[in-house]
Amino acid sequence: MPDRILSHSEMCLREGIPLRRGMNFRVRGGHSVLLMSVRPGAPYRDELSGDGTVLRYEGHDAPRPRTGGLDPKTVDQPLQTPNGQPTQNGLFFGAALAARAGDAPPERVRVYEKLRPGLWTDHGVFHLVDAAQEHDGTRHVFVFRLEAVQGEAEGAVPVPAHPGSRRVIPGGVKLAVWNRDGGGCAECGADEDLHFALLRPSAGATPENVRLLCTRHDPGEDDRSG
Ligand SMILES: [Zn+2]
C-alpha cells in the first residue's frame, strides 16, 4: 500500500536487496528503487511538486575518496566508473533518454522518502520520463524527472490531474501528521501496519486532511488488483 510507514529493514526485506544507496536500477523484480529525502541537511536537492506527483531527483556524487582527494560535492557527478562501467547515474540517464525518445517504455521506479532516521514512507510507483545534466554553479549534476502513476502494475498510467486521483502526500506533511498523531493510529493508537490516508480524497494533501491509520481502521484499496 502506498503511503505506509516502514523501517529501513522492512524496505530491504520488501525489495529483496540491502538498500545501501539512493539509486537502485532494476532491483529484483524488474523495477527500480529511489530513496529520497528533503529534510534539512539532506545531501541532495530532491523535490516533490504538483501535489507530490512530480519528482525532481538529483543524481549521486562520485564516491568519497578514502584519503585526501577532492570533496565529491565539488566534482561533476559521474556517468561512468573509472573502468568505464555505467554508474547508477548512467543507468538511469540512459533509460530516461530512451523513454523520452519513445524507444522504450518508462522505467518503473518505487520511491521511498526518509522522514527522519529510521522512519521511511512509500510514495508508490513513478515513471522515469526525462533527465538532464545541469550546472549547479559549482559542477555538473544529473537531474531526473519522474511522474507518479496510478497503481503499482506494469503499464500504469500517469495520475490524472483531477480531484480524487491519487495524490502523493509530501514527506513534510507526513512527518507533521506523524508527530501530531503520536506515531500511532488516530483511531486506536496501534503502532504497527500504519499508513497515511486522506480524509477527503478530493481535497489537498494538507496535514488537516491527512491521518495516520492502521490497516484495520483503513483497509485502503488493493493496489495489486489494478
Ligand atoms: Zn487503528
Domain extent for 135: 5-161
Average pLDDT taken over every residue of the chain: 88
**191: CA distance to ligand 1 center in Å?**
8
CATH of the domain at 121: 2.30.280.10
**198: CA distance to ligand 1 center in Å?**
15
**135: CA distance to ligand 1 center in Å?**
48
**72: CA distance to ligand 1 center in Å?**
45
Residue 35 placed within a domain: yes
Residue 197 placed within a domain: no
Residue 216 placed within a domain: no
**205: CA distance to ligand 1 center in Å?**
20
Segment 200-207 mean pLDDT: 84
Number of domains in the chain: 1
pLDDT of 204: 81
The structure's pTM equals 0.88
- pLDDT at residue 18 tops 50: yes
Residue 77 placed within a domain: yes
Residue 176 placed within a domain: no
Pairing of strands 107-116, 32-36: parallel
**219: CA distance to ligand 1 center in Å?**
10
Residue 179 placed within a domain: no
Burial status of residue 190 (CB atoms within 10 A of its CB: 0-12, 13-18, 19 or more): middle
**185: CA distance to ligand 1 center in Å?**
5
pLDDT tens per residue, range 148-161: 888 776 666 666 65
Residue 84 placed within a domain: yes
Mean pLDDT check: name the lowest of 135-139, 208-212, 219-223: 219-223
Residue 144 placed within a domain: yes
**53: CA distance to ligand 1 center in Å?**
27
- pLDDT at residue 222 tops 60: no
**177: CA distance to ligand 1 center in Å?**
15
pLDDT of 213: 94
